[in-house]
């Protein structure tokens, strides 16, 4: 039975109007990606989602392995030698075409080579981070501290982007807080249907949520209507709307924490709570490290 992501890829390719030569190259990429899934070279969830299949982290792993010849469909003189430079260039060109067709940004900078990404934490650093959060979850010093640890714990389990975290609602949590639904949305937007996934939560996340949720309830209990956001603001802040007299409208505490606010709280919290040694400067760097850890390399 074909993988759903490969079926979606085939549909994407069939809608392209490239010439026969390029179509053959796109077919090669489809075959290589299929082989990579069958050999468990790519993360298992990639099989179910075109968005995950075309994700930058996934494709970097695929290109790395494909260059070695491991994904060849035919032997050459009884072997599978590394692919030629011309094939490597064609492969990258095909990935550019596919990502563009899917509404994703280019992988290349200038010459078409992979984008140089910021360094990400190593496996040991992630282990140290989990150990530190496990210690801190029983030593909460403020509402902001509780929220940050809960956000980080859930991020460690779900590998969610900042926007995906900001979109989480109370209703996404299971009743016993043992799992959470995450809607995967590619970073730069795409026409691909978002992928909803149920992710098990670790004991660290459950303990961190046990600290955060009562605080969240206090912050939202006086709001009118239904307060559904999982992550909410801690204090009054202006909404960016300016009145005629130059003053700003103010949003009260307990309002949904927007993506920008979540990133800002990460940036300030890593210093305020002594986590700068454990956390990279950018939340996205942490996510990529978790993707790499999940992929097993």
Dihedral-angle region of residue 77 (phi above 0 means left; psi in -120 to 50 means alpha; beta otherwise): left
Buried b (16+ CB within 10 A) or exposed e, 213-222: bebbeebbee
* Sequence-ordered list of residues with C-beta below 8 angstroms from that of 201, at least 6 positions apart, any chain: 153, 154, 157, 177, 178, 179, 180, 209
Beta bridge partners of 114: 108
CATH fit for domain 123-295, picks 1.10.3470, 1.10.443, 1.20.58, 3.30.1360: 1.10.443
Give strand pairing partners of 237: 251
Give the pLDDT mean for 88-111.
Answer: 80
pLDDT in tens, 206-228: 999 999 999 999 999 877 656 89
What mean pLDDT, rounded, does the chain reach?
84
Q: What percent of the chain has pLDDT over 90?
A: 45
pLDDT of residue 240: 45
DSSP one-letter string for 45-107 = GGGG-HHHHTSHHHHHHHHHHHTTTTT-SS-BTTB-PPPPHHHHHHHHHHHHHHHHHTTPPPS
Distance CA 32, CA 6 (A): 11
Q: CA 63, 98, 51: angle at the middle one, nearest 5?
A: 80
Residue pLDDT, tens place only, 228-282:
999 999 976 544 444 445 444 455 788 999 888 899 899 899 888 989 888 988 8
pLDDT band at 119 (very low <50, low <70, confident <90, very high): low
Per the CB < 8 A criterion, the answer to whether 118 and 280 are in contact is yes
Paired with 10 in beta bridges are none
* Residue range(s) in the chain whose domain bears CATH number 1.10.443: 123-295
The pLDDT of residue 84 = 86
Alpha helices, H only, 199-282: 203-220, 259-272
* pLDDT on residue 118: 53
């Amino acid at each position: 039975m074909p993988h759903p992501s490969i079926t979606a890829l085939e549909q994407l390719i069939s809608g392209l109007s490239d010439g026969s030569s390029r179509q053959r190259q796109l077919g090669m990429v489809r075959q290589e990606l299929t082989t990579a899934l069958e050999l468990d070279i790519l993360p298992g969830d990639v099989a179910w989602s075109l968005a995950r299949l075309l994700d930058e982290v996934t494709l970097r792993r695929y290109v790395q392995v494909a260059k070695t010849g491991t994904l060849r469909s035919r032997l050459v003189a009884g072997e599978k030698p590394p692919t030629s430079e011309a094939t490597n260039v064609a492969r990258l060109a095909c990935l550019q075409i596919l990502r563009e067709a899917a509404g994703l940004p280019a992988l290349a900078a200038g010459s078409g080579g992979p984008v140089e990404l910021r360094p990400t934490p190593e496996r040991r650093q992630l282990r140290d981070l989990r150990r530190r959060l496990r210690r801190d979850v029983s030593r909460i010093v403020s509402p902001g501290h509780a929220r940050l640890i809960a956000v980080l714990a859930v991020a460690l389990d779900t590998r969610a982007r900042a926007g995906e975290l900001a979109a989480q609602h109370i209703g996404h949590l299971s009743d016993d807080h043992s799992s959470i639904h995450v809607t995967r949305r590619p970073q730069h937007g795409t026409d691909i249907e978002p992928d909803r996934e149920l992710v098990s939560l670790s004991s660290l996340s459950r303990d961190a949520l046990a600290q955060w949720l009562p605080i969240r309830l206090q912050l939202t209990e006086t709001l009118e209507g239904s307060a559904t956001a999982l992550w909410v603001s801690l204090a009054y802040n202006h909404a960016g709307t300016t009145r005629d007299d130059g003053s700003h409208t103010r949003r009260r505490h307990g309002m949904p924490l927007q993506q920008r606010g979540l990133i800002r709280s990460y940036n300030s919290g890593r210093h305020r709570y002594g986590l700068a040694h454990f956390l990279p400067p950018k939340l996205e760097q942490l996510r990529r490290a978790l993707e790499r850890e999940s992929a097993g390399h």
